[in-house]
Structure 1
């Protein structure tokens, strides 16, 4: 029996914990559910494959070629050479060749290609970070939207309960002759309108909860409760946005490209071995098909890239300036948003200081109105206006509290 009771308690706690979700858990689930997150694995695979291909440039390179040619003239001998049996070189020539080339030094081209592959992969990952960071802002908006609706629903229930109590009171007044049917009907109208508002708020909450479910990839039942996050304070001078790391990665990519320019005008060294079959062979005085081979070292130095080197560097310098201008513009806009958030937060805090006093005064006015209705010196309609005004004051306080939380977290989002 005790074991069954404990199991039921454990199951109940599990259900309660599943029915409550936090802002951070929503962000994490949204990040895992977002289709773009799979790009990280694809970028890493692409980097591995490309680096592997680049590294193969240091392996021996094998090539096969063939040639058949006929030339209009060929070298002839002005005299006959005894024992040679030919008067000159043949006009038709044949050659089948296989060459193996081993790179010794390529001027740093392969090393620079590897660095560029890594830099571009890093840049793409940091760009993905910015996209996923924007997703968190959408989660914030939906999450706090639900919290705001929850507060409005709670105030709606309190208003409905207050109106129901007043309905009973006015019905008693009608029996005593101090109120009439129209007074009771006025309260009933207010109750019906409050119920309509409740249905509308519930529908809005269902829609927002559905949006949050789509973002997180988790099915969220209607009874799901959101845990109100704590107040957060951030330092405006500290920025840790993923966009800044993306700009740094872009600059690093350009730096690697700039360093790669010098590989275009550096010399290259390699070893080679050639095996061939053809006519004529290496001994051109023998007019027959023969096999032969060549081994040696090769040195190449191409100066063609020097013609465009200056402009290539200027283009890359311009690209660096563009990246820095984009970063400065981003920081400028972010500081503007922070200033706007700071103003909103300060205004909300000032309003919240006055909310309690407004509610206290509205509560006194409502009680006074109820007493006047009991004494027959105020109409029920005027009393309903005071009840509504008190409810609006309570709603404003609840809305201000959620808005303050939302703007504080938005400020944190701006600075990360």
Structure 2
């Protein structure tokens, strides 16, 4: 006997193991990985590597190759009679290779690299912010699917109850206790239920398809959407990625100020030039010669008409703008949180009322059930009371899902 009991249990277990399931947190993680916008993070990092390599090239020797051939209308002549100095050719040729090596620029290159690094972090955090803003959309889809699941369960429960009642009514009709057409009313209600099943299934399928597209994972009607235990813990601090973005913008401004302060620093370069031409460095030797020069060069912009100062003032204004954006964001977020908390309180009061209403509806339906069996009321009157109970139970389920959605949105707004 035990063998026959074990086999169905194993089959049920295997079926459950094979069913795909997903949670709300998994949806959050998948959208951060698979949403097309998420690819920008790696692209930004690749771009940063290239830009930093370009900036770092300033520390490497810079090579320049020049070549020219000219013809001039006149050349230098030595006004000394019988000097036997051959005049220069009017056609002249020269090819040079120059090397310049930066020795010192006040740390401007390293400052530029720091600016580029923080700019990259700012861009990547902006991607994170944009992805985070998808969470409320995911919440709406996910809990709408949960509501469809719960509605389907309610419909099945109602269907089971109607079928059982139909069997009772048909038996009562057979023995003349209940009016002959009473079963037709129940059969019509069962047909209406089939329409409701199809509508719920269609809506759920559309929601699942949309959610699947956003998170980049194939989901279907058989996927089990886990009911999350969403709770709200009142905290006074926000933990939104937008706040990190504002801080990174301020860091970017600070590094830009450091870069500007180094732009007018003296620059020391070493250089070397080698060449071949006619004439060479000796202008009196009218032949092709090799030549070279080496040296150091100092470049210092001692007066820039206060351009550097005005740039720093402009950055200070940008910093104030970022501060006002952060303050505005915090204010609006706190307003949203207060509104969401009031929504949570309202729905919780609705649920308490729903439970009382359902309790009363069940008592009414119990009485109607007894009256139908005894032929006191018609099947239509019974259907009315059963539908009233179902609608109130559906309202309770809707409010419970709405409460979970409100709490999930509260958490998203808070950044928990």
- Residue 96 of structure 1 is matched in structure 2 by 95
Judge which range, 145-154 or 108-117, deviates more: 108-117
Q: Equivalent residues in 2 for 1:252-263 (5 A)?
A: 252-263=251-262
CA distance in 2 between counterparts of 1:155 and 1:184 reads 22
1:213 partner SS = helix
- Residue 66 of structure 1 is matched in structure 2 by 67
Q: Which runs of 4+ in 1 moved over 6 A?
A: none
2:133 partner SS = helix
- Residue 210 of structure 1 is matched in structure 2 by 209
- Residue 48 of structure 1 is matched in structure 2 by 49
Q: Does the CA contact (< 8 Å) of 2:179 and 2:375 recur in 1?
A: no
Tell me if 1:335 matches 2:341.
Answer: no
- Residue 266 of structure 2 is matched in structure 1 by 267
- Residue 402 of structure 1 is matched in structure 2 by 401
2:298 partner SS = strand
Q: Does the CA contact (< 8 Å) of 1:57 and 1:110 recur in 2?
A: yes
Where structure 1 has 5 or more consecutive residues not aligned to the other structure, the ranges are: none
1:104 partner SS = strand
Report the alpha carbon displacement of residue 305 of structure 1 after superposing the two structures with TM.
4.3
Report the alpha carbon displacement of residue 339 of structure 1 after superposing the two structures with TM.
1.6
CA distance in 2 between counterparts of 1:277 and 1:344 reads 85
Report the alpha carbon displacement of residue 225 of structure 1 after superposing the two structures with TM.
1.4
2:94 partner SS = strand
Q: Equivalent residues in 2 for 1:86-125 (5 A)?
A: 86=86, 93-125=92-124
Tell me if 1:28 matches 2:43.
Answer: no
- Residue 85 of structure 1 is matched in structure 2 by 85
1:266 partner SS = coil
CA distance in 2 between counterparts of 1:299 and 1:270 reads 6
Report the alpha carbon displacement of residue 209 of structure 1 after superposing the two structures with TM.
2.3
CA distance in 2 between counterparts of 1:377 and 1:15 reads 46
Q: What CA RMSD, in Å, does the superposition of the two structures yield over aligned residues?
A: 2.8
Report the alpha carbon displacement of residue 197 of structure 1 after superposing the two structures with TM.
0.6
- Residue 224 of structure 2 is matched in structure 1 by 225
1:185-230 Cα shifts (integer Å, max 9, x gaps): 2222222112211111122222222233333333334322121111
- Residue 278 of structure 2 is matched in structure 1 by 279
CA separation of 1:195/1:26 partners in 2, compared to 1, >3 Å: closer, same or farther? same
Report the alpha carbon displacement of residue 303 of structure 1 after superposing the two structures with TM.
4.6
Q: Does the CA contact (< 8 Å) of 1:20 and 1:225 recur in 2?
A: yes
CA distance in 2 between counterparts of 1:11 and 1:161 reads 22
Using the size of structure 2 for normalisation, the TM-score is: 0.88
1:2-25 Cα shifts (integer Å, max 9, x gaps): 9xx99x959945852642222222
Q: Does the CA contact (< 8 Å) of 1:352 and 1:400 recur in 2?
A: yes
CA separation of 1:323/1:17 partners in 2, compared to 1, >3 Å: closer, same or farther? farther
Report the alpha carbon displacement of residue 364 of structure 1 after superposing the two structures with TM.
0.6
CA separation of 1:271/1:366 partners in 2, compared to 1, >3 Å: closer, same or farther? same
Q: Equivalent residues in 2 for 1:176-325 (5 A)?
A: 176-177=175-176, 179-303=178-302, 305-325=304-324
Q: Does the CA contact (< 8 Å) of 1:234 and 1:411 recur in 2?
A: no
Using the size of structure 1 for normalisation, the TM-score is: 0.88
CA distance in 2 between counterparts of 1:9 and 1:99 reads 82
Judge which range, 186-195 or 214-223, deviates more: 214-223
CA distance in 2 between counterparts of 1:54 and 1:196 reads 67
1:40 partner SS = helix
Judge which range, 66-75 or 363-372, deviates more: 66-75
Judge which range, 148-157 or 61-70, deviates more: 61-70
CA distance in 1 between counterparts of 2:167 and 2:12 reads 42
Q: Does the CA contact (< 8 Å) of 2:178 and 2:374 recur in 1?
A: no
Q: Does the CA contact (< 8 Å) of 2:31 and 2:131 recur in 1?
A: no
Q: Does the CA contact (< 8 Å) of 2:257 and 2:315 recur in 1?
A: yes
Report the alpha carbon displacement of residue 40 of structure 1 after superposing the two structures with TM.
2.2
Q: Does the CA contact (< 8 Å) of 1:96 and 1:276 recur in 2?
A: yes
Report the alpha carbon displacement of residue 254 of structure 1 after superposing the two structures with TM.
2.4
